[in-house]
Chains A and B, each alone.
Chain A
Amino acid sequence: MQLDQLKQVSDVEWRIAPFGKMRVPAVIYADQALITEMDDKVFEQITNVATLPGIVQAAYAMPDAHWGYGFPIGGVAAFDADAGGVVSAGGVGFDISCGVRTLHTGLKAEDVAPLKQRLADRLFTHIPAGVGSTGKLRLDAGGMDAMLRGGARWAVEHGYGSEADLDRIEEHGCMAGAEPGQVSEHAKRRQRDEIGTLGSGNHYLELQEIVEIHDTKAADRFRLRQGEVVVSIHCGSRGLGHQIGTEFLRQMVIAAPGYGIDLPDRELACAPIHSPVGQAYLGAMRAAVNCALANRQVITHLTRKVFADLLPGTHLSLIYDVSHNTCKEEWHTVDGQTRRLYVHRKGATRAFGPGHPSLPGELRDIGQPVLIGGSMGTASYILVGTEEGGTRAFSSACHGAGRSMSRHQATRQWHGRALVDELASQGILIRSPSLRGVAEEAPGAYKDVSAVVEAADRAGLARKVAKLKPLVCIKG
């Protein structure tokens, strides 16, 4: 990105003053190296977001921002419904409520080491991953609607996990306001047999070792101990979410002129929150959030079964579950005024600081765990929300490394088999139904996740707590 079009506010904050039809400024959080490498499309997209009706304060881009659809991936924007604010299907994205959850195993890396191969094989067999894979659950019409209303709570009620899990999930595992009636039959058809599946692309299930602790106090509260093994699951709302995204994007593109909205880019398709299309989308999107929460809950159950078979007595407890493609109704203070806003986070993680009422009792005084996924061979991080984050980007942080190279370039540069062997020599076992898929997801095709996390930490968006290194990766 050309730096001369930005005003540098600090070593990790860059500002674009409103020009053209922008209603608010745009702010990018990144260090000089990250912003220099950032695609020019991020500039174009984040300034486009700033033109949308009812946008509040500024349009934000996180340190992992890259070229997305309408919104950049790593984009955050909040809208006030009563000031003509909009909800945007493009601002949430296709994989609604895609997110990460991380579980304690309580096991030490050296205890897991002799069983690594068997764990990798068993997890790969028992957790459906990749194109065309199906779960064991089949939902009829009534079951589908109950799942879309209940989310992870529905899964727990059906024997997948425990009540204690729900405390550690955003919205307590169940997004209010879901309207299964707004979800099309096509979307439900895509989901019939997809509950409990990882999907493909950058989705994964990993065993990871905690290799560094950066913040002892928060690590203690999250019960993170160096040398211990955790499980992280990255996936979303599967076919149902994709279909809802597809259908509402089209509906909003066609409806926008009727609402007097001039779209600078069709992918920014949106509708006023106070409109039939806006309300229908919110009802459907919230149902998709529940679908993603139920999906991660069922996968958690499958993972626990594998551990129970191979390492009897192991208890996998949930540290936290975050969603990074959402639009949520939240209260935020803007210019000293508390306002109810619709916060879009597309490839961005919510990062509530200490004291936030939505946090479970045992985490309330320390802040929300913020889970940042890496790519196959690289590190993941656990951060914690900060108080000052509330004054920056509506308590949001990055979500991962973000691609730096297209899939095409990646397959030209790496071969799946060689990559699997190379990672194995570093002690990282990969299991995937597709070697080309592995090459497309090569760690080198992503930005340096450590640099992204460092920038988020320095910008005060969230604070580093622990670094995780992959041991086993099941790729979709």
Chain B
Amino acid sequence: MIAARWEHFPHQADMGVRGVGPTLAAAFEQAALAMTAIVTDLDWVAPDEAVGIRCEAPDSELLLVDWLNALILEMAARHMLFSRFEVSLDGQRLHATAWGEAVDTQKHQPAVEVKGATYTELKVVRDESGQWLAQCVVDV
């Protein structure tokens, strides 16, 4: 059984997000959690309000970047932070729900704003043990 998890990896000026999981969808969910964790502590964000997200891309790597950028757009335009994600994939089409709440400076103490997901260190792969890894650097 592969446990889903996320982590950050270093980039000189910015931050790398990495999601790992038993399925590609789970790895995408974990990468999204890693992205919120750049901004604030995940435990501080109540998953109260749901937002639907759809995107489509020519390959899985571009799809990861599109997914994270769709979240960045929702975070920015709605002034929200998200702490729970459900992703389902149908080929190169992604449907997802993100749950979160409005940014509250006192409560969330947001460290930095995420400007965009990039193609730097971009990787979506399945290793020999069958676990999926999805990662890229995000610009902050």
Contacts and interface: CB of A to CB of B under 8 A. Distances in A.
Interface in B38-93: 39, 58, 62, 65-66, 69, 72-73, 76-77, 79
Interface stretch (B21-29, B104-112, B127-135): B104-112
Contact of B105 (A67, A73, A254, A433): A433
A67 B13 contact: yes
B119 A69 contact: yes
A133 B12 CA distance: 26
Contacts of A80: none
Contact of A69 (B39, B69, B139): B139
Contacts of A243: 73, 76, 116
B125 interface: no
Nearest to B106: A433
Nearest to A39: B12
Contacts of A250: 62, 65-66
A295 interface: no
Secondary structure class of chain A's binding surface, majority of residues: mixed
Interface stretch (A355-363, A401-409, A448-456): A401-409
A21 interface: no
A254 B58 contact: yes
A132 B103 contact: yes
Contact of A406 (B11, B120, B139): B11
A95 B15 contact: no
B122 interface: yes
Interface stretch (A4-12, A165-173, A435-443): A435-443
A250 B117 CA distance: 11
For A41, A132, A405, A437, the residue with the greatest tally of chain B CB atoms inside 10 Å of its CB is A132
A162 B28 CA distance: 49
A239 B109 contact: no
Contact of B120 (A69, A245, A436): A69
A69 B103 CA distance: 28
A43 interface: no
Given A131-B110, A132-B105, A190-B76, A267 B115 contact: no
Interface string A240-261: 0011011001100110000000
A406 B109 contact: no
Contacts of A39: 12
A409 B113 contact: no
A380 interface: no
B139 A409 contact: no
A434 B69 contact: no
Interface residues of B, number: 37
A190 B77 CA distance: 5
B120 A267 contact: yes
Contacts of B140: 200-201, 407
A10 to B, nearest CB: 26
B109 A435 contact: yes
A122 interface: no
B97 interface: no
A132 B62 contact: no
Contacts of A133: 105
A242 B119 contact: no
B8 interface: yes
Nearest to A267: B119
B10 A409 contact: yes
A368 interface: no
Given A239-B77, A267-B120, A68 B112 contact: no
A470 interface: no
Given A69-B120, A266-B122, A436 B77 contact: no
B36 to A, nearest CB: 11
Nearest to A68: B13
A134 interface: yes
Given A94-B116, A250-B62, A267-B120, A73 B13 contact: yes
Contacts of A180: none
Contacts of B122: 266
Contacts of A217: none
A199 interface: yes
B118 A186 contact: no
Contacts of A436: 109, 111
B110 A403 contact: no
A435 B117 CA distance: 24
27 contacts: A39-B12, A94-B115, A94-B118, A130-B113, A131-B108, A131-B112, A132-B79, A190-B76, A190-B77, A199-B113, A200-B111, A201-B140, A242-B115, A243-B76, A249-B118, A250-B65, A253-B62, A267-B120, A404-B12, A406-B10, A406-B12, A406-B13, A408-B10, A433-B110, A434-B110, A434-B111, A440-B111
Question: Which are the 3 A-B pairs with shortest beta-carbon distances?
Answer: A132-B103, A131-B110, A266-B119
Interface of A: 39, 41, 66-69, 73, 93-95, 130-134, 186, 189-190, 192, 199-201, 239, 242-243, 245-246, 249-250, 253-254, 265-267, 269, 403-409, 433-437, 440, 476
